[in-house]
Amino acid sequence: MKKINNERFVGLSASVLAILCGLLFGFILLLVTNPSQAVNGFLMIVQGGFTDGMKGIGDVLYYATPIIMTGLSVGFAFKTGLFNIGASGQFAAGAFAAVFVGIKWTFLPAGIHVIVCLIAAILAGALWGIVPGLLKAYFNVSEVISGIMMNYIGMSLVNLLIRTSIYDQLKNQSLPVAETAVLSKMGLNKVFDGANINAGIIIAVICVILVYIILEKTTFGFELKACGLNTNASKYAGINEKRNIVLSIVIAGALAGLGGALLYLAGSGKFLQVLDVVAPEGFAGISVALLGSSNPIGILFAGLFIGYITVGGYNMQLYGFVSEAIDIIIAAIVYCGALSLLFKTLIYKFQMKKRNKNNKKEEA
Amino acid sequence: MSYVIEMNHITKQFGSFKANDDVTLQLEKGEIHALLGENGAGKSTLMSVLFGLYQPEQGEIKMNGKPVKINNPNDANELGIGMVHQHFKLVHNFTVLESIVLGRETTKIGILKMDEARKKVMELSKRYKFKIDPDAYISDITVGMQQRVEILKMLYCDNEILIFDEPTAVLIPQEISELMKVMKQLVAEGKSIIFITHKLNEIKEVANRCSVLRKGKYIGTVNVADISKEEMSEMMVGRKVNLVVNKKEATQGEPVLEVKNLTVKGKTAGKDAVKDVSFTVHKGEILCVAGIDGNGQSELIYGITGLMPIEKGQVILNGKDITKESIRQKCLDGLAHIPEDRHKDGLVLDYTLQNNLVLQTYYSDRFQKNGFLKFDEIREFAKGLIEKFDIRCGQGEDSVTRGMSGGNQQKAIIARELDRNPEIVIAVQPVRGLDVGAIEYIHKQLIAQRDAGKAVLLVSLELDEVMNLSDRIVVMYEGEIVADVNPQEITREELGLYMAGAKRGVKNEEN
């Protein structure tokens, strides 16, 4: 047991080290672009969501919700040995399905309507995931290639469908969804003092717990992880590895799709834009999954952290920094996160040295 | 007596693990010096140090009495040290000649000049009676020939110190005796050879002296002429070993596994790796599939177990046709498989031992309820197997399998497979890479299965294992069964001829 705890400790401290290195890099960046305001700007980032009291914290939770979902999507697939770079397309598909149902199916009673929207998003995301899944399982097509393709198909198709069905020509975006399709605030906006927070974060946390239980406690998770760690041995043991590949990426797609719904049904004044941009939340999900070492609980905290410094980034604009600066800093942190293996080895080495020293002391 | 190479008090550490602990090896000019030790004793590490692949923490290397520093394989080559690796390092779509000169090409203003090289290679080939075709492609020649290419490569570079790393593992008896002749000729010409092996017969035959390693420690150096095989094996293992497997007379029963006209496609297109193979394994017998590596044995087993699709044929287990069944169903029907590659197929290395022990049974009612794993039950089950099969590992059932020794990993697989009480055990090279103690144990387990009236299908490349364990032998050559013989009625040499394809017995077994 001790060894397992040590592994967790090393994993956690590697993530913390990655974050510190990324922040340091960010500070240097701020120093270079605007030396006089660098310290103030940096303090804003570090203060992050705490700057505005409860409202700030509420906003952190709001920003974190969709990227926790895409992070879960990427992390879940990763446990099965798949790199779900298609989370963006699944996210967009889910977002569109939710908004479409939210606008068009007003015949549904309140309470049911929003749930149908969420289910539509889950199905759309899953559908977007099943294509790379089937290609991977039965034709050994890399899920990275087909995932990227599905991202572009998703982006263009969503743009097309918005224009033909739910288009607000004046604003070049989707129409607002019906009141009955908006996620309940559940009084959270009162607790958090007018922030955009809503039931989405609760759904995200429930998903985190569900994914954790699936992966750690069930036979299904046992199979998925076995396939991810060693496909050959799984096949040898009689596990249907093809079925697991498809299921894994379908579930990942459903998670990302649900994430899309949670963002666009938040009632925060966010609309589907007709832009030729692949949904950035999907890529943010990759960062979150990396930073959280694909562990559901880790992903929860990584998502919260990224939400936290994103809010800090907005506040930083007060000091004349462009909001892209915060994107670069997040990228730097993720970059360092990707190097976490290096940090892990460093920490192991450090521990080893310490142990050797202790041993020598004991000998002497 | 001066030494051409002295490795004095070498210590090489990986983390806290000492792969070599104060090891000394002194090679005289013109001798064949055997380096004996079990797998994991540190032989390869020591040679990697000599070859410049690793830097030792302590100790020095001297050449002709002068200290030398070997930082990389190029340094070693310049000092005239050459090595034939256990797994040949050849480029498959190169010709023999190209492979030999690779890295030492003679050129004129950047253009290859092969004529001189060809002359030198042919001279060498003639001198050692290698009968090599310089224009044949590596992928087309036999393993024995490939080894000759490797030897020529060393000679082409005028190496004086030659390292042979387990050179006989891939050869048939006839090829082995020819290799021994070549080695003797080489030392007669003044070259010096380090011969790495764990086969005592071969040491007895060619080596002058022998250094023994055990668990990274230097045990001693002996004159081969003064010591018996039993004493050598005792030095190697650290206790008395029973070199002969004891087993009762076989009592052959009804057929358990029938393979009929099985054909399996190979990895390269157009070639069948297994061609129309039929045989039967009966209750209470160990049927051994002998043959040189790469003659379709792996594909045969993959075909039977369902890991590879088959072209045609039938697999029948206890009268039931299981050809088209899923791997899981085959497993439930009583087919156990100890795979050839335990890391690739047998274990999820990053899973804990207990998870690996339930890899095929986690879904049974014993270990799950409504899709949720019963962790306590799994733990109890694993503890039981660990004790029953004497699997040794640091953290018991929580050990990560990757960190366990090869022998204990193999024991874990065997525990898992045999505990299911299978009808037939298919074991593919079950003792590959294991130490003598583990080999003894695994052989005993297989014989116990046989004595309990179960069937065992054993695929082995080692003639010793084939001769000692089997009750019946079929030999595979180029995807076909070329012999079906009784081990008591055949000599090793005759078996070697079958394995080399020089002789054919029955084509198909008579039922």
From B364, which residue of chain A is nearest by alpha-carbon distance?
A219
> What's the pLDDT score for residue A121?
97
B357 and B381, same domain (yes or no): yes
Check whether residue A273 and residue A140 sit in a common domain. yes
B373, B406, B421: which is the final residue of a domain?
Answer: B421
A260 within domain boundaries: yes
Same structural domain for residues B175 and B95? yes
- A110 with A211, same domain: the answer is yes
Q: How many Å from the N-terminal Cα to the C-terminal Cα in chain B? A: 64
Spell out the residues 6+ positions from residue A5 whose beta carbon is closer than 8 angstroms to its own.
Answer: none
Hey, are the CB atoms on B326 and A4 less than 8 Å from each other?
no
> What one-letter code names the amino acid at A250?
V
Please tell me the distance from the alpha carbon of residue A158 to that of residue A89, in angstroms, as a whole number: 9
Q: Which residue of B has its CA nearest to A214?
A: B372
Least confident piece of the model among A346-350, B33-37, B372-376? A346-350
**Same domain? B475 vs B447:** yes
How far lies B178's CA from each of A119, B171, B494, in Å?
74, 10, 16
Domain for residue A19, yes or no? yes
**B157-216 per-position pLDDT tens digit:** 888 999 998 888 777 788 888 899 999 999 999 999 999 887 888 899 899 999 999 888
Tell whether A250 and A334 lie within a shared domain.
no
In the 8-state DSSP scheme, what is residue B430?
T
Q: Is the pLDDT of residue B243 over 70?
A: no
Spell out which residues of chain A touch residue B346, defining contact as CB-CB under 8 Å.
233, 236
d(CA A96, CA A92): 6
Specify whether B112 is located in the same domain as B14: yes
Residues B318 and B369 both lie in one domain: no
Single out the residue of A213, A215, A273, A205 nearest to residue A244, CA to CA.
A215
Q: Could you tell me if residue B154 is inside a domain?
A: yes
**Angle CA(B410)–CA(B414)–CA(B420) in degrees, nearest 5?**
155
Distances (CA, A) of B289 to A121, A236, B248, B382, B484: 56, 21, 20, 32, 9
Closest-CA distance of chain B to residue A356, Å: 9
Closest partner residue to A219 (CB to CB) among B305, B327, B363 is: B363
User: Of B381, B404, B421, at which residue does a domain stop?
Assistant: B421
Give the Cα separation of A287 and A329 in Å (integer).
12
Closest CA to B209 of B232, B180, B181, B188: B232
DSSP-H helix ranges across B24-142: 43-50, 73-78, 96-101, 114-127
What residues contact residue A28 under an 8 Å CB cut-off, 6+ apart? none
| CA-to-CA dists, residue A68 to A65, A312, B19, angstroms | 5, 18, 46
Rounded CA gap, A141 and A126, in Å? 18
Same domain, B389 and B433: no
Domain match, B349 and B307 both = no
* Structure tokens belonging to residue A54: 């409860």
Residues A200 and A312 in one domain: yes
Put simply, the answer to whether A3 touches B359 (Cβ < 8 Å) is no
The amino acid at B61: I
Residue B218: beta bridge partners? B213
A51 domain-assigned: no
The tens digit of pLDDT for each residue in B71-80 reads 888 888 888 9
Is residue B246 in some structural domain? Answer: no
Task: Report the CATH number at residue B108.
Answer: 3.40.50.300
Q: Which residues contact A282 (CB under 8 A, 6 or more apart)?
A: A70, A85, A86, A87, A88, A89, A90, A91, A92, A151, A256
CB B408: neighbour CB atoms within 10 A? 21
State the pLDDT at residue A247. Answer: 94
- Residue B289 and residue B297 in contact, taking contact as beta carbons nearer than 8 Å: yes
Tokens read off for B11? 């210590």
What domain count does chain A have?
Answer: 2
Percentage above 70 pLDDT, chain B: 96
Question: B211 - beta bridge partners?
Answer: B35, B221
Give the list of residues 6+ apart from residue B497 with CB closer than 8 angstroms, or none.
B174, B503
Q: Is residue B339 part of a domain?
A: no
Of the residues A301, A320, A339, the one at which a domain ends: A320
Mean pLDDT of B448-452: 91
Mean pLDDT of A141-163: 94
**Token code pair at residue B62:** 């001297």
| Closest in B305, B347, B395 to A233, CB measured | B347
Q: Greatest CA separation found in chain A? A: 82
Across the interface, whether the CB atoms of B327 and A218 are under 8 A apart is answered no
Residues of A in contact with B340 (CB under 8 A): none
- Which residues are B473's β-sheet partners? B288, B485
B162 burial (CB, 10 Å; 0-12 / 13-18 / 19+) is buried
Q: Hey, are the CB atoms on A220 and B363 less than 8 Å from each other?
A: no
Range(s) of the domain holding residue A354: 1-34+321-364
**Domain closes at, from B379, B401, B421:** B421
State the residue range of the domain holding B463: 252-334+423-511
pLDDT in tens, A19-77: 888 888 888 888 888 888 888 888 888 887 787 778 888 889 999 999 999 999 999 99
* B 404-433 residues inside an 8 A Cβ radius of A: none
Query: What pTM did the predictor assign?
Result: 0.77
Bridge-partner residues for B316, per DSSP? B258, B321
A108 and A241 co-located in one domain: yes
Shared-domain flag, residues B167 and B303? no
Whether B508 shows a pLDDT value over 50: the answer reads: no
| A236 contacts in chain B (CB < 8 Å) | 305, 307, 327, 337, 339, 345-346
Residue B189 lies in a domain: yes
Cα B298 from Cα B427, distance rounded (Å): 11
In this model, does residue B245 exceed pLDDT 70?
no
pLDDT in the model for residue B269? 62
In the block, tokens 């939400």 appear at A307
**Residue A42 is assigned to a structural domain of this protein:** no
Q: Are residues B163 and B204 in the same domain?
A: yes
Which residue type sits at A345? Answer: T
- Closest partner residue to A219 (CB to CB) among B329, B350, B368 is B368
The ipTM (two decimal places) reads 0.80
Instruction: Give a yes or no: residue A124 inside a domain.
Output: yes
Does residue A279 sit in the same domain as residue A330?
Answer: no
Interface of A with B (CB under 8 A): 1, 3-4, 217-220, 222, 225-226, 229-230, 232-240, 352, 356
B511 & B405 share domain = no
Q: Do B372 and A229 touch (CB under 8 A)?
A: no
Neighbours of B174 (CB within 10 A): 15
Closest Cα of chain B to A227: distance in Å? 9
In a domain, B474, yes or no: yes
CATH number, position A223: 1.10.3470
Share of chain A above pLDDT 70, in %: 94
B414/chain A closest Cα distance in angstroms: 14
Q: List the single residue in B327, B330, B349 with the smallest CB-CB distance to A230.
A: B349
Residue found under tokens 């040491």: B203
Task: Check whether residue A26 and residue A133 sit in a common domain.
Answer: no
- DSSP, collapsed to helix, strand or coil, labels residue A100 as helix
B351 interfacial to chain A (CB closer than 8 Å): yes
**Is the CB of residue B372 less than 8 Å away from at least one CB of chain A?**
yes
Q: Determine the pLDDT at residue A359.
A: 64
Longest CA pairwise span in chain B (Å): 76
Classify residue B112: in a domain, yes or no: yes
CB < 8 Å to B305, chain A: 236
* Residue B371 with chain A: CB contacts under 8 Å: 218-220
Distances (CA, A) of B252 to B249, B286, B451: 9, 9, 10
Q: Which of B304, B341, B359, B426 is the mutation pick for testing A, counting most A CBs within 10 A? A: B359
Domain assignment present for A304: yes
Q: DSSP letter string over A206-224?
A: HHHHHHHHHHHHBHHHHHH
Q: Are residue A340 and residue A312 in the same domain, yes or no?
A: no
- Number of folded domains in chain B? 3
Q: In terms of domains, do B101 and B24 share one?
A: yes
| Same-domain check for residues A191 and A309 | yes
Nearest-by-CA chain B residue for A226: B348
Residue A44 included in any domain:
no
A1, A233, A240 member nearest B398 (Cβ):
A1
Whether residue A83 contacts residue A233, with contact meaning beta carbons closer than 8 Å, is answered with no
Q: Is the domain of B218 the same as that of B266? A: no
B247 in a structural domain: no
Task: Please choose, from the candidates B50, B6, B2, B48, the residue with its C-alpha nearest in 3D space to the C-alpha of residue B25.
Answer: B6
